[in-house]
Amino acid sequence: MKIKNKLTIHYDQKPIYDILLENDFSKLKDALIALGYEKRKLLIVTETNVAPLYLEEIKTLLTPIFREIVCFTFQAGEQQKQLSTVSAIYTTLIEHQFDRKDVLLALGGGVTGDLTGFTASTYLRGVDFVQVPTSLLAQVDSSIGGKTGVDFDSYKNMVGAFYQPSLVYINTGTLKTLPEHEFNSGLGEVIKHGLIKDKEYFSWISKHREEIARREPDVLKDMIYRSCEIKGDVVERDPKEKGERALLNFGHTLGHSIEKLMNFSMLHGDCVVIGSELASLISWKRGLISKEELEQIEELFQYFHFDTLPATLDYKEIVSATKLDKKMDQGQIKFILLHPIGNAKIDKTVTQEEMLWALESYKRLENL
């Protein structure tokens, strides 16, 4: 693959926003000037893990172009992705008299992006926001496609909006500081992109697994670019998840149930990996992928040491919890299966028995 630095996401054939890929933050200022943001007010939303690493750098960099920069730092963690945090951001915006032309910037991982995007979509019925994702998961997944939202009670992303950022600025340099566990969690999504859309990419990831694990910058950039491209293509064709976009939910049906039953103590990416393994098992059981393909998938996931299914969970409870998933369609659970690797399809016929079988089989596969 060839290194590229820019991707443009379209809607109805019109360009909506750019994704810029850089090794540092140096081009962020010019990108914001190009959007016409000079002399506006900026609210940077970030969290306690990311703020010490990048907040001062970004503030210093952007001070010359904005009329005022305000920062909102929340306690890191999925627990804060809720309406009370959104309300606290509204209060900050009102106190600083932000108007419709002022701008929000999300500096952090997926939680920060989802929270900031939802706040931007609803403050004064919508103000601009910029995504500066600092985790691999946010860079290849959540910052692209305009899904914003918060959890409600224990229901994940129950409240939200489809709302596009005006820019996604990816500094791959931030991956250097990412804890291994979180880095690998992002890789779960990367592997998913290969599985659902591009067998060749899946093979490329398998082949470069060591360089990826060592976080070699050029390989990472290639990888992020291709993942952004796949995700971008899907959301362009189906911005509001009426069809194809649902394929990105590969691994999510059972993954979300596990995440929820574990009270979000596990990383989203790890849960999706378990869900992906389970969906791969069901795909194999149905004869849609070969035993060899199933083993390739398992092997790659195992290489990156993803968390495995917690032994404490009750399989029946996991299956029951899928019924509360928002991807339901008139009472039917939408499952994504591989037909084969590189070509996922939506399937509404997966039974509770098949899910239970996969959960039971999963344990054995752990000892492959």
User: Does residue 162 interact with its own copies by CB under 8 A?
Assistant: yes
Annotated catalytic residue 193? no
Q: How far apart are CA 134 and CA 80, in angstroms?
A: 18
Annotated catalytic residue 245? yes
User: Does residue 96 interact with its own copies by CB under 8 A?
Assistant: no
Looking only at Cα atoms, what is the longest distance across the chain?
A: 61
User: Does residue 60 interact with its own copies by CB under 8 A?
Assistant: no
Tell me how many residues contact its own copies (CB under 8 A): 38
Q: Which is nearer to its own copies, 101 or 316 (CB)?
A: 101
Contact 355/319 with Cβ under 8 angstroms? yes
User: Does residue 113 interact with its own copies by CB under 8 A?
Assistant: no
Annotated catalytic residue 181? no
Give the tokens for residue 3. 């290194």
* β-strand partners of 149: 160
Q: Which is nearer to its own copies, 92 or 361 (CB)?
A: 92
Q: Which of 124, 213, 346, 356 binds its own copies (CB under 8 A)?
A: 124
Annotated catalytic residue 147? yes
Catalytic residue chosen out of the listed positions 2, 14, 95, 125:
125
Give the tokens for residue 260. 């929820």
- Cα–Cα distances in Å, from 64 out to 40, 69, 178, 325? 11, 10, 29, 46
Query: Quick one: how far is CA 241 from the chain centroid?
Result: 15
CA atoms within 13 A on the CB side of 96: 21
User: Does residue 172 interact with its own copies by CB under 8 A?
Assistant: no
Q: Which is nearer to its own copies, 220 or 247 (CB)?
A: 247
Give the tokens for residue 313. 């969970």
Query: Quick one: how far is CA 89 from the chain centroid?
Result: 22
Q: Which residues from 292-351 bind its own copies, rule CB under 8 A?
A: 323-324, 326, 328-331
Query: Quick one: how far is CA 98 from the chain centroid?
Result: 28
Residue 47 falls in which region: left (phi positive, over 0), alpha (psi -120 to 50) or beta = beta
The minimum distance between CB 164 and its own copies, in angstroms, equals: 13
Of 115, 156, 153, nearest to 133 (Cα)?
115
Annotated catalytic residue 231? yes
Annotated catalytic residue 323? no
Compute and round to an integer the Cα radius of gyration of the chain.
20
Catalytic residue chosen out of the listed positions 192, 226, 256, 260:
256
User: Does residue 158 interact with its own copies by CB under 8 A?
Assistant: yes
User: Does residue 83 interact with its own copies by CB under 8 A?
Assistant: yes
Catalytic residue chosen out of the listed positions 182, 189, 229, 293:
189
Q: What positions carry a catalytic annotation? A: 125, 147, 189, 231, 241, 245, 249, 252, 256, 268
- Where does this chain bind its own copies (CB under 8 A)? 39-40, 83, 87, 90-91, 94, 97, 99-101, 118, 121-126, 147-149, 152-153, 155, 157-162, 240, 323-324, 326, 328-331
